[in-house]
Amino acid sequence: MTALIDLNGKRGLVVGVANDASIAAGCARAFRAAGAELALTYLNEKARPWVEPVAKAVDSTVFLPCDVREPGQLEAVFERIDSEWGRLDFLLHAIAFAPREDLHTSVVNASSEGFGMAMDVSCHSFLRMARLARPLMTEGGALITVSFYGADRVVENYNLMGPVKAALESSVRYVAADLADEGIRAFSLSAGPVKTRAASGIERFDELLDQVRARTPSGRLVSTDEIGHLAAFLASNAAAPMSGSVVYADNGFHTTA
């Protein structure tokens, strides 16, 4: 991959690689191509064989398990980054989860437990990461999460994840304001639909891809590598005047009616 952005000398944490097709994998490739040194995590031992090739391909120097619902695992990742690097320049939070029965129904029917779990894994974990990253971002930094247009408009079958992503995008604005005087910036990178493992949990996802393609001015969907280049830009000094924004990587889909 050709580097469009310079991240030489920067160190970043990438959370959310499930396999080669993950949005986080495209981002990790772009970060590495731009010169960054990376720490990657995997969900658990079952996931590890799928994540390891990505970690190797990006020469990841830290590779640890991280299930944000397992007490202490996220903390352990940041402790290791502290002992290994002593600082952190950027992180990518690219994780989401909702119980199937709550995702495959109207938001009206979503259970309190399911809603809470989706919010915890997909949104509150970003706040926890921001809290843990803050003391390590001694020279400022960038906190990037991945959102979707369903935060802003009703997208058929996106259901419960709509309000969860809306909360995530709002959290980003508050984090950006709270940490601004420490030189820490925060972004929602709103990606167009991509066929990933998480996406396969959304009902009739192939139809969504067709609808989005048809409404996108160029008629093209985005690739994970293209999303990655934009993430690398947000992590770079070139994006220094930006913070708190929702940045769309969707070939202009969100601008159409």
195 is annotated as an active-site residue: no
Minimal distance, residue 147 CB to ligand NAD, in Å:
6
Q: Is 158 in the site for ligand NAD (CB under 6 A)?
A: no
CB of 139 to ligand NAD, least distance (A): 27
Residue choice 96, 172, 232, 234 for contact with ligand NAD (CB under 6 A): 96
The pair phi, psi for residue 227, each rounded to 5°, is -60, -40
- Select which of 56, 165, 195, 248 is catalytic: 165
Only segment of 5-13, 53-61, 107-115, 146-154 that touches ligand NAD (CB under 6 A): 146-154
User: Which secondary structure element, helix H or strand E, spans residue 218, and what is its range?
Assistant: none
What ranges in the chain are assigned the alpha helix state H? 23-33, 48-57, 73-84, 100-103, 112-119, 125-133, 161-178, 205-215, 224-235
| Nearest approach, Cβ of residue 168 and ligand NAD (Å) | 8
Residues 8, 146: Cα–Cα separation, whole Å: 23
Chain residues 218-247 in contact with ligand NAD, contact rule CB under 6 A: none
Q: Which residues pair with 248 in a beta bridge?
A: 190
3-class SS of residue 50: helix
Q: Closer CB to ligand NAD, residue 148 or residue 233?
A: 148
Pick one of 34, 98, 121, 176: the residue that binds ligand NAD (CB under 6 A): 121
- 165 carries an active-site annotation: yes
CA 112 – CA 104 distance, rounded (Å): 15
DSSP string, 71-113: TTHHHHHHHHHHHHTS---EEEE------HHHHTS-GGG--HH
Q: Position 100: which residue type?
A: R
| 197 versus 204: smaller Cβ distance to ligand NAD | 197
Q: Quick check: 43 binds ligand NAD (CB under 6 A)? A: yes
Active site residues: 158, 165
Q: Residues interacting with ligand NAD, by CB under 6 A?
A: 16-18, 22-24, 43, 47, 66-69, 94-97, 121, 146-148, 191, 193-194, 196-199
